[in-house]
A and B are shown apart, each in its own frame.
Chain A
Amino acid sequence: MLVYLTKRILYTIPIVLGVSLVCFLLVHLAPGDPLVSVLPPDASEDLKQQLLVIYGFDRPYWEQFLRWVGRALQGDLGYSIASGRSVTTEVLRAVGNTLILASVATVIGFFFGLLFGFVGGYFRDSWIDKTASALAVVGVSVPHYWLGMVLVIIFSSQLNWLPPTGAGPGASSDWQPDWAHIRHLILPAVTMSVIPMGIIARTIRALVADILSQDFVQALRAKGMGELGVFLHIVKNAAPTALAVMGLQLGYLLGGSILIETVFAWPGTGFLLNAAIFQRDLPLLQGTILVLALFFVLLNLIVDLVQSLLDPRIQRS
């Protein structure tokens, strides 16, 4: 057990380093001058040189990378070129908002995904399975940014029930679970939940069908166990995979929220990313991507560890 834990955690270190290197290189991949967004077009060569020195862009790449990683380890991701504020502060505030959205969406998606998956796998090839599977295919195939637009058209522009954009009063600083905020959360969260719903439903359906066809289920039934008892055995067998998929989906939603946040003007990391890209604010872009990718790596680690605790067979493979 301990060996597996240690190995898995040690394995994360090169991944984290690699991820940081990719984030760092992104800036140097970018065509043009990294200072292009702060410099006025008629800036003198002198001013340009000074700024290059201030931002450290005059050093060799490897040195810039080491300095950047060193500062990042201390929680300092530099300063946004556009706003001059600390990237860490901006990203953490945005992460909070995205986390609210992504967690609610994961919970909704997990609930319906499990429901459709279990029902489909249990009553395989019945009409109820076909309906559940159809909903799951729709979930994985729908362009979610379009679904968001359609929901806004129906519930905001036609019925006028829910607000189309924003996160509610003072959302970026003090989000509270009151109606003023929750009514802003409903449409984006439902839109976002469709992806994990489809993926979880499809995974669980295949898994439940697979478990049902195994010998031990037949043995349980032959022993005279009731349907509820058999069901609990199936839940127990499906749980590690279900949890793993859910954890990964939360990570995907956190990192992939940009399209939905753009549709709903939700003040999270996706919105920040959008701003960073179009203002060519490279430190902000670099910092946001790094934080989101590290979140994803961390979630992967947690998922693997929890899964191996629940299912000791994994450690051996």
Chain B
Amino acid sequence: MALARSTAEIAALPPVIDKSEGYWASVWRRLRRDKVAIIAGLVVLALILMAIFAPYIAPADPLSGRITRRLRPIGTEGFPLGTDELGRDMLSRLIHGARMSLLMGVTPVIIAFGLGSTIGIVAGYLGGWFNTIAMRTIDIFYAFPSVLLAVALSGALGAGLTNALVSLSVVFIPPIARVAEAVTTQVRNRDYVEAARASGAPGFTIVRVHVLGNVLGPIFVYATSLISVSMILASGLSFLGLGVRPPEPEWGLMLNTLRTVIYSQPWVAALPGLMIFITSISFNLLSDGLRSAMDVKQ
């Protein structure tokens, strides 16, 4: 029937190009329909806002406590979530805790995304001996279970925020580099890269235009799936006493110091862990939604 159309009719049709949407627009359209991912995304957003505006939201000073009002239960007048072992307001400490906990959980993944994808993309694109050396070195770090590597490194370096961040970044570089190397090797052998090379495009341009555009998406999705693990591990390091130091409000550390009172105020003691859980599951669900919206296969 289309064949029967006259040239004038075809010219009158709206141009097809207007209808097609960009890649990211289509990702957003699919993501928007995923209710679970949207709710998870809103929770993440709320947590980030809570961290940024902590001093304005928190009803009390997270560091000042009075021993006379220690270990009040949840629902106490003036202390809706009770008080901790030093009489500090739990609600305020949980709100302020979002700052350090999110920082400790997200920063290592960002660092590892930067370094890991650089190593992986360069190794995947260059191939040859550089690939062999880089990837075999990565394999050595990959040969350690992640928790063990994180604990061993921060244990050897000593407790503290910077050391914990360094250790966690080292833990996440190998998996990201591996994924980056795998997708880059695939893309490198595609026809359009071959065509670009044949047309005389310099290596840097090929990487910037043809490789990066096609590999960063999958690597990014993979990296977002690591944030949940990173949150759990980062708070875990603080829980062991290897992360931030008291009296800093940080969920893992709070869980550690409240461990002694699980017989007197069990539900107050469990609250910081609940926050870690909510954060970690939200990042996980958001990452799952992102992956199916971008149609990235693991």
Contacts and interface: CB of A to CB of B under 8 A. Distances in A.
Contacts of A252: 145-147
A262 B144 CA distance: 20
Given A15-B140, A19-B144, A153-B262, A146 B157 contact: no
B148 interface: yes
A158 B263 CA distance: 8
A160 to B, nearest CB: 11
Interface in B207-261: 228, 231-232, 235-236, 239-242, 252, 255, 259
A137 B285 contact: yes
B98 to A, nearest CB: 15
Main secondary structure of the interface of B (DSSP, over half): helix
Interface string A13-46: 0110011011100110111000000000000000
A302 to B, nearest CB: 14
B143 A146 contact: no
Interface in B13-60: none
A143 B252 CA distance: 10
B284 interface: yes
Interface stretch (A117-125, A182-190, A293-301): A293-301
A296 B143 contact: yes
B285 A293 contact: no
B280 A277 contact: no
Contacts of B266: 153, 157-158
A143 B235 CA distance: 9
Contacts of B280: 141-143
A273 interface: yes
Contact of B255 (A31, A149, A254): A149
Contact of A15 (B139, B151, B270, B276): B139
Contacts of A276: 155
Nearest to A293: B144
A209 interface: no
B284 A140 contact: yes
A21 B136 CA distance: 14
A200 B151 CA distance: 24
A209 B277 CA distance: 28
Interface of A: 14-15, 18-19, 21-23, 26-27, 29-31, 137-138, 140-147, 149-150, 152-153, 157-158, 206, 251-252, 254-256, 258-259, 262-263, 273-274, 276-278, 282, 285, 289, 292-293, 296-297, 300
Contacts of B157: 29-31
B250 to A, nearest CB: 13
List of 9 A-B pairs having minimum Cβ-Cβ separation, nearest first: A146-B273, A255-B145, A256-B147, A18-B140, A277-B155, A255-B148, A141-B281, A153-B266, A26-B156
21 contacts: A15-B139, A15-B140, A22-B140, A26-B152, A29-B156, A31-B157, A137-B285, A142-B277, A142-B281, A143-B276, A144-B232, A145-B255, A146-B273, A206-B298, A251-B145, A256-B146, A274-B240, A289-B148, A292-B148, A296-B145, A296-B148
Given A149-B269, A273-B155, A18 B137 contact: yes
A22 B146 CA distance: 14
Nearest to B229: A140
Nearest to B144: A293
Contacts of B262: 149, 152-153, 157
Most buried by A among B144, B239, B274: B144
Contacts of B288: 137
B114 interface: no
Interface in B127-150: 136-137, 139-141, 143-148
Most buried by B among A14, A142, A145, A252: A145
Nearest to B271: A146
A147 B276 CA distance: 11
Contacts of B111: none
A258 B137 CA distance: 26
Nearest to B241: A278
A157 B140 CA distance: 43
A271 to B, nearest CB: 11
A31 B270 contact: no
Contacts of A152: 262
Contact of B236 (A143, A273, A282): A143
Nearest to B141: A22
A149 B270 contact: yes
Nearest to A14: B136
A276 B242 CA distance: 13
B80 interface: no
B153 interface: yes
B276 A146 contact: yes
B203 interface: no
A89 to B, nearest CB: 21
B239 A285 contact: no
Nearest to B147: A256
A256 B274 CA distance: 21
A15 B255 CA distance: 37
A153 B269 contact: yes
Contact of B281 (A27, A138, A158): A138
Most buried by A among B143, B146, B252: B143
Contact of B270 (A21, A146, A206): A146
Contacts of B277: 141-143, 146
